Structure 1
Amino acid sequence: MTKRVIIIGGKGNGGVAAACIRDMNERFQLNDYQVYGFLNDFIPKGEKINGYPVVGDLKDITKYLKQDFLFLYAIHSVSHGALRMEIYKTLGIPDKKLATVIHPNAFIGEGAVIEPGVLIMANTYVGTNSIIGKCTFLMANSCVSHDSVVGAFCHISMGAICGSHITIGAGCDVALNATLIENIQLGTCSVVGAGAMCLNDVEDFQVVVGNPAKHHKYLPERESKSEWIKKHIKQNKK
């Protein structure tokens, strides 16, 4: 039976998630999920994101939770991991209401654990005995090698390579084409910048960049939601 999915987010990661489900429907005739629409605080109800209607803002989730919908949480702005998790907590989504979307062209190794709400895009590799935490996004052509743990609410960008026996904390971002060698740890809400070669552990809320990756700055452990909203309203007006 096809399940209706509401995507929480916008045209960035939300649009990618919608495109993944559409590809699964149209090219692979997999109809486990159909995108019903988006919940978005910045785009008015009735307007469309990637061809799908905005059916309300985030506070409207209460009524949709009472109905026969699943949800995909796609608020994954890079370097905003703490706020990402804080917003999710306000939504009250039980795990059983989360859609877990795995593109058929992804490789999932034996013994891997994929938690609820995960999105795994095409040509992605998840090695044996690895764990991918709740609501984490693995984007196209990324790799999480064997015996690694990726925490909840992480974003592993296109082309990012995470070696074996790595532990990645909750709310982390591994940016485009970054590489993490084996046996290192990323702290909670840390960021590995685009193209970085990460050879050492990364602290909580630390941003590292470059080849080899070096300290760039620390992120605030708490972030103002109102300031984040202002920033996104400004971006959507461009």
Structure 2
Amino acid sequence: MYLYGASGHGKVIAEIAEELNISITGFIDGNADIESILDYRVIANNADGLEGKAVISIGSNKIRKLIALRDNQFDYVKLISKKANVSKRAIVEEGTVVMMGATVNSDVQIGKHCIINTNASVDHDCMIEDYVHISPNVGLAGNVEVGEGTHIGIGACVIQGIKIGKWCTIGAGSVIIKDIPDYAVVVGNPGKVIKYNEIQKLSQ
């Protein structure tokens, strides 16, 4: 299996693969100065001619989407740490990684190429669309919906039944008690919209 992105995030994903006894062929990265990471070789800059299983090990939601659409010759797989607690009734799609200590409860639906990061909690009946990043220690109560490409920052809390739009940024430690529109940047307790992400850049 290839890991696409030789970074700190990639190190964590590599250790999940090791935990699952999945053989790592190497990392792919655009930085030609990186020759190895965690004793695995790094293939510089280009995935041309490569194929097989892969996970995109990059934290940026937008970049994960660009790579997934561009380099579709790979068989993108999901990785769920043995130290995560994932309900047998949850659905986790391809390319998604569920990290150590995370909890995903009954009837949760998680889309493609998402990150459910360390110790995050996703409660029953939540729906998380593609390319979302749920950061460490985030708490989503039941029936929360999170739109494509949204990043929920470390330690944020979302009460039950909330709908968060696509390509939003929810600041670290924010407390979300009202629905959030597409592209909004939200901070604070309670969370307030302070600006909007640039739509044209996110749609590329």
TM-score for both structures, normalised by structure 2: 0.92
Contact 1:82–1:223 at 8 Å: present in 2 too? no
Contact 1:177–1:194 at 8 Å: present in 2 too? yes
2:87 and 2:162 mapped to 1: Cα distance? 21
Q: Which residue of 2 aligns with 1:197?
A: 175
Question: Equivalences for 1:109-124 in 2 at 5 Å?
Answer: 109-124=87-102
Report the secondary structure of 2:10's partner residue. Answer: helix
Matched, 1:54 2:32: no
Unaligned ranges ≥5, structure 2: none
Contact 2:175–2:189 at 8 Å: present in 1 too? yes
Shift of 1:82: 4.0
Per the alignment, do residues 83 and 18 of structure 1 end up closer, same or farther by CA in structure 2, a change over 3 Å counting? closer
Shift of 1:122: 1.1
Per the alignment, do residues 19 and 115 of structure 1 end up closer, same or farther by CA in structure 2, a change over 3 Å counting? same
Shift of 1:62: 3.0
1:116 and 1:44 mapped to 2: Cα distance? 30
Aligned residues with identical type, % of pairs: 27
Shift of 1:209: 0.6
More helix, by proportion: 1
Q: Which residue of 1 aligns with 2:12?
A: 16
Matched, 1:158 2:147: no
TM-score for both structures, normalised by structure 1: 0.79
Matched, 1:34 2:23: yes
Contact 2:158–2:176 at 8 Å: present in 1 too? yes
2:32 and 2:137 mapped to 1: Cα distance? 30
Q: Runs of 4 or more off by more than 3 Å in structure 1? A: 81-84
Question: Equivalences for 1:1-238 in 2 at 5 Å?
Answer: 5-22=1-18, 24=19, 30-31=20-21, 33-44=22-33, 47-57=35-45, 60-65=46-51, 69-77=52-60, 81-93=61-73, 97-223=75-201
Report the secondary structure of 1:53's partner residue. Answer: strand
What residue identity is the alignment partner of 1:52?
A: Y
What do residues 191-233 of structure 1 show as CA deviations (whole Å, max 9, x unaligned)? 1110111111111111101111111211112339xxxxxxxxx
Unaligned ranges ≥5, structure 1: 25-29, 225-238
Contact 2:96–2:115 at 8 Å: present in 1 too? yes
- Residue correspondences, number: 202
What do residues 70-119 of structure 1 show as CA deviations (whole Å, max 9, x unaligned)? 11012222xxx44542343122245xx01211111111113210111111
Contact 1:159–1:176 at 8 Å: present in 2 too? yes
2:93 and 2:119 mapped to 1: Cα distance? 20
Shift of 1:20: 2.2
What residue identity is the alignment partner of 1:35?
A: I
CA RMSD of aligned residues (A): 1.8
Q: Which residue of 2 aligns with 1:228?
A: none
2:141 and 2:44 mapped to 1: Cα distance? 40
Report the secondary structure of 2:136's partner residue. Answer: coil
